[in-house]
């Protein structure tokens, strides 16, 4: 898992580095600022903004149209004007972008630093994902559903599905869209690749599932049992029945035998979506009931179908 995390971060850094500097096809917009220079003509040098009307005031020439042109196209236009107006012979004109107009895109969901960030016109999804700190990891596992990200175009209802898994892990650049002002990238939480552990346990909650996770791993994540209250000998794992939506099976695990006698058959390997229920030796207090997270309401409902109450025996 550590290798995968390092790989993801390395890929992000590499792709973003490649993206920077690719402004040859960028077309100038109002509020961009450009630098105009002529080689061996020091007096012809200026930093000028593109006005709201799309024009610039070029040194010794005056007003020229810049909006919608690339820097190469503007260079060619300036060459012709300097030849015509200043009688220069073969002027070597350079136009570079000193500062792009301020544009912003937002990122939210299962990332480390959700928020609104200033972007360059050539920035892509990878650049925004990097500013957002990359996908969220929890207990060594990716907590984001990378295959179901979406990009909402700024000030529109257009919603583009983004497969970040293909982009990050397989280098699929077709998923790396160039950002536009006001874009919103949403990276959803992976709610399916999780396990729930409830009942008499220190930290009942939903946790990311990792390949090879065992019952002991889940119990450790949830902070272990509560002394004199947890009945670990009657631990239950509720599992979806394969190919039968809405149907579940119960697996009884005597976790005490695993702890005390090393009976590894009681430490079963978990699957995504498993619900682990640790019963109590007696009816819990009102305070304990209040600790049950509303996020686990669906798991509690499933247990109820089996006639199991987390609030004591029926």
Angle at 129 between CA 128 and CA 131, to 5 degrees: 65
More confident position, 265 or 245: 265
311 pLDDT more than 60: no
Q: Beta 62-65 vs 275-278: how paired, if at all?
A: unpaired
- Residue boundaries of the structural domains of the chain: 33-99, 102-187, 194-305
Residue 289 pLDDT grade (very low, low, confident, very high; cuts 50, 70, 90): very low
One fold for both 102-187 and 194-305? yes
Output the DSSP codes for 165-232.
Answer: HHHHHH--GGG-PBP-TT-EEEE-B-SSSEEEEEESBSS-EEEE--TT-BHHHHHHHTT-BPTTTB-G
pLDDT at residue 299, rounded to an integer:
62
Q: How many CB atoms sit inside 10 A of residue 189's CB?
A: 17
Is it the case that residue 295 has pLDDT exceeding 90? no
Q: Smallest Cα–Cα separation from 187: which of 132, 159, 150, 160?
A: 150
Output 63 or 282, whichever has higher pLDDT.
Answer: 63
Name the band, by pLDDT with cuts 50, 70 and 90, for residue 303. low
Distance CA 117, CA 182 (A): 10
Q: Which CATH number applies to 102-187?
A: 3.10.560.10
Is a pLDDT exceeding 90 seen at residue 155?
no
Report which secondary-structure segment, H or E, holds 299.
helix 297-305
pLDDT value at residue 288? 47
Residue 277: strand, helix, or coil: strand
> Sorting pLDDT into bands at 50, 70 and 90, what band is 2?
very low
Say what the pLDDT of residue 43 is. Answer: 83
Q: Which residue has the tokens 């000193």?
A: 98
pLDDT at residue 284 is higher than 60: no
pLDDT tens profile 254-273: 999 999 999 999 999 999 88
Q: Are 189 and 143 within 8 A, CB to CB?
A: yes
How confident is residue 302, by pLDDT bands cut at 50, 70 and 90? low
Q: Are 72 and 9 in contact (CB under 8 A)?
A: no
* CA distance between the termini of the chain: 42
Q: Please compute, for residue 6, the number of CA atoms within 13 A of its CA located in the half-sphere on the CB side.
A: 3
Evaluate if pTM is beyond 0.75.
no
CATH of domain 194-305: 3.10.560.10
Residue 219, pLDDT > 60, answer yes
| Mean pLDDT of the chain, nearest integer | 84
pLDDT band at 120 (very low <50, low <70, confident <90, very high): confident
Residue 247 confidence class, pLDDT cut points 50, 70, 90: confident
Q: Is the pLDDT of residue 68 over 70?
A: yes
For domain 33-99, the CATH class is alpha beta
Residues 14-32: pLDDT tens digits? 444 444 444 578 899 999 9
Structure-model confidence comparison of residues 282 and 270, the more confident one: 270
């Amino acid at each position: 898992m550590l290798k995968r995390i390092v790989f993801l971060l390395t890929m992000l850094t590499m792709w973003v580095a490649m993206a920077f500097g690719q402004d040859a096809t960028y077309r100038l917009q109002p509020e961009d600022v450009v630098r105009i220079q002529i080689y061996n003509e020091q007096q012809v040098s200026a930093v000028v903004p593109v006005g709201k009307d799309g024009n610039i005031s070029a040194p010794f020439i005056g007003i020229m149209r810049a909006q919608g042109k690339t820097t190469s196209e503007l260079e060619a236009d300036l060459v012709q004007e300097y030849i015509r107006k200043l009688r220069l012979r073969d002027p070597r004109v350079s136009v570079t972008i000193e500062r792009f107009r301020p544009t912003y895109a937002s990122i939210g969901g299962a990332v480390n630093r959700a928020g609104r960030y200033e972007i360059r016109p050539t920035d892509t999804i990878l650049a925004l994902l990097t500013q957002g700190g990359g996908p969220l990891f929890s207990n060594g596992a990716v907590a984001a559903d990378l295959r179901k990200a979406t990009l909402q175009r700024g000030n529109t209802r257009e919603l583009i599905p983004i497969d970040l898994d293909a982009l990050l892990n397989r280098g699929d650049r077709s998923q790396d869209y160039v950002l536009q002002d006001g874009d919103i990238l949403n990276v959803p939480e992976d709610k399916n690749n999780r396990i729930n552990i409830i009942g008499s346990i220190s930290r009942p909650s939903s946790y990311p599932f990792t390949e090879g996770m065992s019952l002991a791993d889940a119990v450790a994540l949830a902070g272990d049992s509560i002394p004199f209250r947890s009945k670990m000998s009657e631990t239950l794992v509720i599992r979806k029945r394969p190919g039968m939506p809405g149907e579940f099976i119960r697996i009884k695990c005597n976790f005490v035998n695993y702890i005390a006698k090393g009976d590894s058959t009681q430490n079963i390997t978990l699957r995504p979506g498993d619900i682990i229920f640790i019963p109590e030796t007696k009816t819990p207090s009102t305070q304990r009931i209040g600790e049950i997270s509303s996020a686990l309401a669906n798991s509690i409902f499933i247990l109820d179908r089996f006639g199991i109450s987390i609030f004591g025996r029926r």
